């Protein structure tokens, strides 16, 4: 076979594709488990085969040449297709969708809505797993995950679902026992569920109160917002919660939002999955449904 017909080494193609996607030899090396020197060497092999450079090496970055810009998109598409085809051929349980998510989002937002997804996809069984830790897609049989963060996870496709917001909530019975809650300062007279929550200083400052107003109170950690909300509903104090997760409790009157001061965290809630699997039908179906649901909730 002539050199023109013989395909380049797969390792060299993977190194180039990753470097082109990241715009960095270092980040490509991290994704592939190689050294930066090894990535550079593999790309050099391709450049020798092509007879010209694929990247312009600059002090703090690498930039694709015209040849590199032509080669990168079809290679990325080819690797995605190969990964998806292999997953399908290996029996990727196309009749099951496994979702890993943080507990409060699962219990108070996702689970009450999943019925509509099941009705639209009756042949797809859904398995919901809750955990605070990030799932490892390479080691665990999970299709998609819901994560809280900045949306920057190497090798994963990330879709922003909603911001993380927070505000104090308490039970109407507690309000009745203490009298009117007329100003944010009145909350400081109450017991606080999770006074060491990292969100409290931000909310207090937004309400015009000293950020350190809760310093010195006994620390408590109930683990999840679900547990904190239950404590608040039981009248044990005021809790800092995400309104979107407790809309039913607010609508039913089991919790009240005493002030319209709602803060936004730097983190958001994201749908993530391996970039190589974005075209798998069950993932595409769930992505379309979830993005539609979160958009409807924001309108």
For the segment 141-200, what is each residue's pLDDT rounded down to a tens digit?
899 999 999 998 988 999 999 999 999 999 998 988 887 788 999 998 888 998 888 899
The residues, any chain, with a CB within 8 Å of residue 128's CB and separated by 6 or more, are 99, 101, 106, 110, 111, 114
Q: Is residue 259 situated within a structural domain?
A: yes
Residue 203 neighbours by CB under 8 Å, 6+ apart? 166, 167, 168, 240, 261, 263
How confident is the model at residue 240, as a pLDDT?
94
Tell which of 59, 89, 119 closes a domain: 89
Banded pLDDT at 296 (limits 50, 70, 90)? confident
Residue 255 within a domain:
yes
118, 126 contact by CB (below 8 A):
yes
**Half-sphere exposure in the Cβ direction for 2 (13 Å, CA):** 2
Total domain count for the chain?
Answer: 3
Which CATH number fits the domain that encloses residue 49?
A: 1.10.10.10
Residue that terminates a domain, selected from 89, 124, 147: 89
| CATH label of the domain that carries residue 193 | 3.40.190.10
- The reply to whether 47 and 195 lie within a common domain is no
**Spatial separation of the C-alpha atoms in residues 254 and 249, rounded to whole Å:** 5
* Confidence category of residue 2, pLDDT binned at 50, 70, 90: very low
Cβ contact 244:297 at 8 Å: yes
Do 31 and 154 fall into the same domain?
no
Give yes or no: residues 261 and 273 share one domain.
no
As a whole-number percent, the residues of the chain with pLDDT over 70 amount to 95
Residue with tokens 């990964």: 83
Spatial separation of the C-alpha atoms in residues 90 and 264, rounded to whole Å: 43
Of 74, 89, 104, the residue that ends a domain is 89
pLDDT for residue 87: 66
Q: What angle do CA 238, 241, 242 make, to 5 degrees?
A: 155
| Residue range 260-290, pLDDT digits in tens | 999 999 999 999 999 888 888 899 999 999 9
Q: Are residues 79 and 216 in the same domain?
A: no
Q: Per-residue pLDDT averaged across 21-37, rounded? A: 90
CB 244 within 8 A of CB 165: yes
DSSP 9: P
Q: Domain check: are 254 and 172 in the same one? A: yes
Residue 218 lies in a domain: yes
Domain hosting residue 273, numbered range: 96-161+267-298
pLDDT tens digits, 106-133: 988 999 899 999 999 998 889 988 887 8
Q: Check pLDDT > 60 for residue 30.
A: yes
289 lies in the same domain as 150 = yes
The residues, ordered by sequence, that sit 6+ positions from 160 with a Cβ below 8 Å of its Cβ are: 151, 268, 269, 270
Q: Is the pLDDT of residue 91 over 60?
A: no
177, with CB counted inside 10 A (0-12, 13-18, 19+), is exposed
CA distance 124 to 84: 18
């Amino acid at each position: 076979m002539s050199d023109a017909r013989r395909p380049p080494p797969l390792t060299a193609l993977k190194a180039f594709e990753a470097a082109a996607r990241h715009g960095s030899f270092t980040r490509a090396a991290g994704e592939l488990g190689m050294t930066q020197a090894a990535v550079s060497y593999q790309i050099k092999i391709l450049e020798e085969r092509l007879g010209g450079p694929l990247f312009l090496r600059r002090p703090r970055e690498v930039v694709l040449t015209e040849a590199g810009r032509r080669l990168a998109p079809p290679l990325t598409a080819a690797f995605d297709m190969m990964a998806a085809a292999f997953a399908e051929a290996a029996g990727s349980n196309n009749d099951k969708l496994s979702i890993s998510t943080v507990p409060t989002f699962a219990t108070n937002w996702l689970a009450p809505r999943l019925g509509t997804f099941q009705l639209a996809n009756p042949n797809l069984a859904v398995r919901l797993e809750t955990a605070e830790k990030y799932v490892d897609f390479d080691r665990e049989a999970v299709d998609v995950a819901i994560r809280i963060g900045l949306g920057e996870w190497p090798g994963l496709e990330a879709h922003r679902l909603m911001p993380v917001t927070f505000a104090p909530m308490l039970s109407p019975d507690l309000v009745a026992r203490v009298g009117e809650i007329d100003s944010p300062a009145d909350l400081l007279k109450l017991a606080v569920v999770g006074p060491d929550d990292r969100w409290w200083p931000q909310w207090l400052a937004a309400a015009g109160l000293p950020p350190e107003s809760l310093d010195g109170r006994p620390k408590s950690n109930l683990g999840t917002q679900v547990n904190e909300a239950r404590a608040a509903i039981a009248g044990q104090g005021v809790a800092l919660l995400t309104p979107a997760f407790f809309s039913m409790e607010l609508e039913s009157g089991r919790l009240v939002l005493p002030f319209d001061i709602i803060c936004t965290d730097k983190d958001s809630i994201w749908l993530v999955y391996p970039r190589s699997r974005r075209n798998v039908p069950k993932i595409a179906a769930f992505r379309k449904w979830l993005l539609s649901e979160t958009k409807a909730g924001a309108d």
